[in-house]
Structure 1
Amino acid sequence: MKPWRAIAGGVQVALRVTPRGGRDAIDGIETLSDGRSVLKLRVRAVADGGEANRAVTELLAKSLGVPKAAVQLTSGATARLKQVAISGDPVALDQTLRALTAAHKPMRKS
């Protein structure tokens, strides 16, 4: 199950973010213990003053080839589990997300 879904004007993506993760990267898809799927991200930024959230939006924008303004945090500003809305063509965004996560084997978190 993919952690994103098409919405009007883009996609909604469920994330699990690791701040101070040593590098900025998309680490694939993870299935949480409750069965939900999330896109795993790690960022170098610390979770202080919104720095990690800014790093997350910048990483997603760069990886998906959209402007930074197209990535909006919709929930989870102070949590590891977040939701973002990404504006753009839902079909193109879906294809790009599939390509970004294809190299990573899905993980299951206990």
Structure 2
Amino acid sequence: MKLPDLSDLAIPGTTLAVRVTPKAARNAVLRDETGLRVTVTTVPEGGKANAAVIKLLAKALGVPKSRLELLRGETSRDKLFRIAD
């Protein structure tokens, strides 16, 4: 699985709107005109899907997982992340 290079978005303080699809066929990060779309194979139970999304996003952005903060959408498909300083 090849992730897109999102390092241009990895600026501290940047907020990222992400649309998440859990229980997908494969893990992927897609960038299109509407924003970022992340698909994960994990089920949305007990924060497992959120953890998988953070892991994928951090890898694509080239930042540590600890720098990604979930601001909004813990139980929603539409999430808002912020890159911490």
Same fold per superposition (TM over 0.5):
yes
2:26 corresponds in structure 1 to: 23
Identity value in percent: 43
Q: How does 1:48-63 map to 2 (within 5 A)?
A: 48-63=45-60
Runs of 5+ consecutive residues of structure 1 not aligned to the other structure: 1-5, 31-36, 89-110
Higher CA-based Rg? 1
* C-alpha deviation, 1:23, in angstroms: 1.5
Q: How does 1:4-83 map to 2 (within 5 A)?
A: 9-29=12-32, 37-83=34-80
* C-alpha deviation, 1:9, in angstroms: 3.0
Aligned counterpart in structure 1 of residue 84 of structure 2, from 84, 87, 91? 87
One-letter code aligned to 2:29: I
Q: Which runs of 4+ in 1 moved over 4 A?
A: none
Aligned length: 76
Residue 84 of structure 1 aligns to a residue whose secondary structure is strand
TM-score by length of 2: 0.79
* C-alpha deviation, 1:24, in angstroms: 1.4
Residue 60 of structure 2 aligns to a residue whose secondary structure is helix
Deviations 1:10-63 (A, max 9, x none): 310001000011221112225xxxxxx331110111111000100011001111
Distance 1:54 1:15 in 2: 14
